[in-house]
A and B are shown apart, each in its own frame.
Chain A
Amino acid sequence: MSNDGAGPNDRAKPEKIRCDACPVLCYIADGRAGACDRYANHDGELVRLDPLTIIERSADKLVPFLRGGDGTDWDGDIVQSNRPFVTAVGAGTTYPDYKPAPFIVSQEVAGVDMVTVVTEGIFSYCGVKVKIDTDRHIGQERDVVRVDGEPVGHVMTSEYGSRMLSLGGVEHLTGGSKKEGRVTCDALLRLCNCQAVEMVIGDKGHATTVIVQAGKAPVINGVKEKLMRVGCGSAAIGMFAKQWVGHVDDVVVVDDHITGVLSEHQSGKLLDVPPSGIKIKGRRSTPGRYFQVAEPGDGWGGTDIEDPLTILGDFNPKFAKPGQSLLMVSTTGEQYGYFTLDSDLVPQPAVIPAQLEASAHLIAENCEPSVCSVVFMAGAGGSLRAGVTENPVRLTKSVKDSLTYVSCGGAEAYVWPGGGITVMVDVLDMPAGSFGYVPTPALVAPIEFTMRVADYGALGGHRAEIRTVDSVMSPDNRKVAQAKNQPDPMAHANYRWAGKPDA
């Protein structure tokens, strides 16, 4: 595999590296392992030597040390529920897949013999869907997303309070230039392993720089996002109307999508808020709801405005009175202003009453922290299935029939309807460092298929290759605890035969 430009592989490698996995901080020479024999220097990269990652669940998972603990968190006895789940992280692969998967392990789970086929898939058809919790403008739908100048994906349909990106995929990995493929692969790898990736969205003139890291707040044009909006401007009016009525004559919630006006809004009408004579620049949708009050940007409520008064026209003297009060607030409560009309009916800044300031803080408090979510999406419908069975379509059918449970690094995978085995999984639910790559370029990701031994036989599985889980376990395995929000891949409830194991 030749390189046609400077890339991560072209950096000069130091002869020895410092391992920071434990306080000993070994210097490790190239090709050697540290004092623990667990970490090694592989061409200047610190790598774990553990062959497999095992998830240990329930009472028998690794006991965290609590200094001064009395040991009551652990009974010192073997627990019957000592039931590890062998993940595919570190399992290796048997590409091009005509051989059985590296590990096909069996164990009895609550009276049922289960088998888990464990492999690290090489995914050419793979990418990530990124959900960025922000109302700030990060680009138009269909704008190209670039990393290191290479196109790696695009902006897709916005979701409520979030912007969405679709990155990677076969077109970028193998459909463009070599450099495009390599940069895409590297960006996907870093995103999937929960590292930060800087990307530029849109073309010159309207480019936005965004730093995305799974589980962390996005950084947009150098500014770290703090909060998701509580709802669109119209929704915010509905949520907080009761707290405003009687304390202020009108409220405008500024939002790039739908700006809300209390006195015109349905909820204001129901609370008998009289017309204030306010005029909003923008396109009125329904009463009290306005589109396009300004351009998108990183100002108030995802618009480009810094001075909220710029979205107001002249007050209608038929309804407006001098001294009338107005609260303007953004959808995150981060920006707010209080105004009173002077004798010419022009809003003038005034000291905000404590009650109204509290309502702005309440909006902020109701906004969830803004985070980036990275969901790995890949198709396991291809030759990877041959490592599982000699009759690949039967695996697909078995998954669709809820006889086979699909997980990635032990994390539950959503399986798309329709043909093939197209899965999605939140990378935060997977063990750290679950992803690798091959220079093809393609991502290497763990995938496990768990089912009853009988069902494995029925789908043409490599039954002769089944090993007991005990024969796979070794003290050198990396052991991780089950992610709190994740179901047990072997729990009977995952399967169609739940409650009737003999069926």
Chain B
Amino acid sequence: MGPVAAILPCGVRLHLQHGPIDLIIGADGDRRVAFAAARDRFVSVLDELVGDLPLLRAQVLPETGLPTGKIARAMVRAVQPHSGFITPMAAVAGAVADEILTAMRAATHLRRAYVNNGGDMALYLARGQTFTTAMAGPDGADLGRITATDGIGGIATSGMGGRSLSLGIADAVTVLAGSAAQADAAATLVANAVNVNHPAIRRQPARDLAPDSDLGDRPVTVFCAPLPAKDIQTALENGQRAADQMRQRGLIHAAALFLQGESRLSGQTGFTPSPSHRTLVHA
């Protein structure tokens, strides 16, 4: 099955899908032109990526060369500044979203636009525009709202509940950054950092679950039972430290970390907790 496009029943959002890529796209402005540009750009995206897959699934090292594809290069650039184990695949969803958003913006003037790639979102906000997104836990619980303002180009969420495997135990880590690729890579790493050792956590080599995962034999979290309060604190602090460092290096604007009913914020997230949700704010 090749790439497909459809207008969602609401009539104002475009759905593009090819293989594992699922994009929900909205645009305020000349929507017809923007959607046509998105569609035209999307047609070859997966094929471009597949050509570079072996390189993209390998750890980025200082001597790693840049791949040929434009999106693949953006993925490498997004993960290169980070230390520790990371492959360009950590930024794949965000990089695809960025590319489609760029194509739409090149085609027409827009006031506001977003490309949501399974929770990793590229965002364009003209001056004064805002974008509010609802946060939900893996169980569908309302975690609160994040309102992005202009200057934020990407919002990405990572954690145990998503499609990708995580080394950590976070329910969700949402990162605001200059681009979706940067946000995606950072969210992956911060979610990995939200971690602690405890018998309630079950892990399994990534390869057993997804034979061609870029994580290889690294132990990914498959289950996490309720943890004692102090372990939740420790795990969140580990994650927050990673987020703070990224923020200080200018890699991200802000991050919100969620684990078992607790949360931590790093930077100005524009986060409004849901009334039912307990939040400890140490920002």
Contact A63 B5 (CB under 8 A): yes
* Residues of chain A contacted by B53 (CB below 8 angstroms): 24
* Residues of chain A contacted by B128 (CB below 8 angstroms): none
User: Using an 8 Å CB-CB cutoff, how does the interface string of A46-81 with B read, 1 for contact, 0 for none?
Assistant: 000000000010001011110111110011111000
Closest to A41 in B: B211
- Chain B, 1-40, CB within 8 A of any chain A CB: 1-12, 15, 18-20, 22, 31-32, 35-36, 39-40
Contact A78 B11 (CB under 8 A): yes
User: Using an 8 Å CB-CB cutoff, how does the interface string of A5-36 with B read, 1 for contact, 0 for none?
Assistant: 00000000000100001111111110010111
B209 proximal to A (CB < 8 A): yes
Binds A, one of B42-50, B63-71, B184-192, B259-267: B42-50
* Residues of chain A contacted by B9 (CB below 8 angstroms): 78, 82, 470, 473
Give the shortest distance, in Å, between A29 (CB) and chain B (any CB).
6
B210 proximal to A (CB < 8 A): yes
Bound Cα distance from A60 to B2, whole angstroms: 18
- Interface range, B side: 35 or more
Contact B5 A35 (CB under 8 A): no
Contacts A35-B20, A76-B31, A475-B22 known; A60 to B7 CB distance under 8 Å?
Answer: yes
Contact B2 A65 (CB under 8 A): yes
* Residues of chain A contacted by B19 (CB below 8 angstroms): 21-24, 35-36
Give the shortest distance, in Å, between B184 (CB) and chain A (any CB).
15
B230 proximal to A (CB < 8 A): no
A479 proximal to B (CB < 8 A): yes
Closest to B35 in A: A76
Closest to B3 in A: A65
User: Using an 8 Å CB-CB cutoff, how does the interface string of B183-212 with A read, 1 for contact, 0 for none?
Assistant: 000000000000000000000000011111
Give how many A residues have a beta carbon under 8 Å from the other chain's beta carbons.
36
Contacts A26-B212, A35-B20, A82-B9 known; A76 to B32 CB distance under 8 Å?
Answer: yes
Bound Cα distance from A101 to B36, whole angstroms: 40
Which listed residue, A22, A67, A68, A479, touches B46 by the CB 8 Å rule? Answer: A22
Bound Cα distance from A36 to B17, whole angstroms: 10
Bound Cα distance from A27 to B207, whole angstroms: 10
- Chain B, 229-259, CB within 8 A of any chain A CB: none
Closest to B24 in A: A475
Contact B209 A29 (CB under 8 A): yes
A295 proximal to B (CB < 8 A): no
B282 proximal to A (CB < 8 A): no
* Residues of chain A contacted by B127 (CB below 8 angstroms): none
Give the shortest distance, in Å, between A52 (CB) and chain B (any CB).
15
A171 proximal to B (CB < 8 A): no
Give the shortest distance, in Å, between B115 (CB) and chain A (any CB).
15
Bound Cα distance from A25 to B20, whole angstroms: 10
Bound Cα distance from A473 to B39, whole angstroms: 23
* Residues of chain B contacted by A65 (CB below 8 angstroms): 2-5, 39, 43
Bound Cα distance from A21 to B31, whole angstroms: 31
Closest to A79 in B: B7
A401 proximal to B (CB < 8 A): no
Closest to B19 in A: A22
Contacts A22-B46, A62-B4, A76-B35 known; A29 to B208 CB distance under 8 Å?
Answer: yes
* Residues of chain B contacted by A475 (CB below 8 angstroms): 8, 15, 22
Contacts A36-B20, A65-B4, A78-B7 known; A29 to B46 CB distance under 8 Å?
Answer: no
Which listed residue, A37, A62, A68, A470, touches B6 by the CB 8 Å rule? Answer: A62
Contacts A27-B212, A29-B210 known; A22 to B18 CB distance under 8 Å?
Answer: yes
8 A-B pairs with the lowest CB-CB distances in the bound complex, closest first: A78-B11, A22-B19, A71-B36, A27-B211, A35-B20, A36-B20, A76-B32, A23-B50
20 contacts between A and B (CB under 8 A): A21-B1, A21-B19, A22-B46, A23-B19, A28-B210, A32-B209, A36-B19, A36-B20, A37-B163, A63-B4, A64-B4, A65-B3, A65-B5, A71-B36, A71-B40, A75-B32, A76-B35, A77-B11, A78-B12, A479-B4
What residues of chain B have their CB less than 8 Å away from a CB belonging to chain A? 1-12, 15, 18-20, 22, 31-32, 35-36, 39-40, 43-44, 46-47, 50, 53, 163, 208-212
